[in-house]
Amino acid sequence: MARYPFFAKSIWLSLLTFLPFLHPYLPANFQNYPINVAVTGLSTAYLFFKLGTAVNPTPKFEIERGPIATFMEQKPCFMTVVFGPIALSFFSLLKAASGTTPSSIYSTATNQTLILLAPIFFASTLLRFLAINTLGRNFVHAAVTPKELITTGPYAYVRDPSYIAALLMGPASYVISGLGLLGVAWSWGLGMVVFLILLPWFIERLKIEEELMGRNIKEYRAYQKRVPWRFVPGVW
């Protein structure tokens, strides 16, 4: 366990974190009960919170862009992807408790939205987990130069696996955590809005990180040529 500090601090803190993956495959009548939808959403938000918060403290002496730029690069995205799903989940719980949950989520059939999202959320969660553990002490939230270049694990196939994982987790967590409050259509719309907000932010941050690493780690340019894909092998 000592080899995997993030493993000990993240998803295994609560059995509730398994609900986003198990919920779509429960019997339909149980699956669509309002409080179950809301609790599943809260579990989703909790899991994304654990995978979205910093594992290691940012080394103050390594921050190269100054406190204002660093704040602007990190905080808006952090507030959007972490606290948004949590807020939606708490409102979903209140809706479920009041008996005013939208009728659109009631059905005797399996929730197809969750059937689609659960594998995506699971795969992106696993990828994010593997990426963070592979980086180990090199994983921080600020745009800093890491102590060493990591080229193993998922980084042997793409240069930025944790970012594509976060891009997929963000919209999925919004959709799942908002089901009990907004219903399917609004949750999907909100998820797409989150994706469109995050994508340009991630692209800009990637440019900053690549500039820092290319300037300070001599092996990075060779790594870029060896692994040309940022997010998806053969695509981009």
Q: Is residue 102 part of a domain?
A: yes
**Cα distances (angstroms) measured from residue 155 to each of 20, 159, 160:** 27, 5, 7
The helix or strand, by DSSP H or E, that contains position 208, with its residue range, turns out to be helix 161-216
Percent of the chain with pLDDT over 70: 39
Check residues 123 and 72 and name the one with the higher pLDDT.
123
Task: Work out the mean pLDDT of the chain and round it to a whole number.
Answer: 66
Q: Is residue 235 part of a domain?
A: no
CATH number at residue 49: 1.20.120.1630
How many domains is the chain partitioned into structurally? 1
Q: Quick check: helix, strand or coil at residue 65?
A: coil
Q: Is residue 231 part of a domain?
A: no
Q: Is residue 98 part of a domain?
A: yes
Alpha-helical segments (H) within 53-83 = 66-78
pTM above 0.85, yes or no: no
- Residue 180: give the domain boundaries: 5-226
Query: Is 200 exposed, middle or buried (CB count within 10 Å of its CB: 0-12, 13-18, 19+)?
Result: exposed
Q: How far, in Å, CA of 216 to CA of 150, rounded?
A: 14
The string of pLDDT tens digits covering residues 60-94 is 544 444 444 454 455 555 555 555 555 655 555 55
Taking the C-alpha atoms of 139, 118, 49 and 233 in order, what is their torsion angle to the nearest 10 degrees?
20
What type of residue sits at position 58?
A: T
Average pLDDT, integer, range 222-230? 93
Q: Is residue 190 part of a domain?
A: yes
**Per-residue pLDDT at 38 exceeds 70:** no
Percent of the chain with pLDDT over 90: 8
Q: Is residue 173 part of a domain?
A: yes
**Per-residue pLDDT at 147 exceeds 70:** yes
**Per-residue pLDDT at 53 exceeds 70:** no
Q: Is residue 138 part of a domain?
A: yes
**Per-residue pLDDT at 220 exceeds 60:** yes
Q: Is residue 236 part of a domain?
A: no
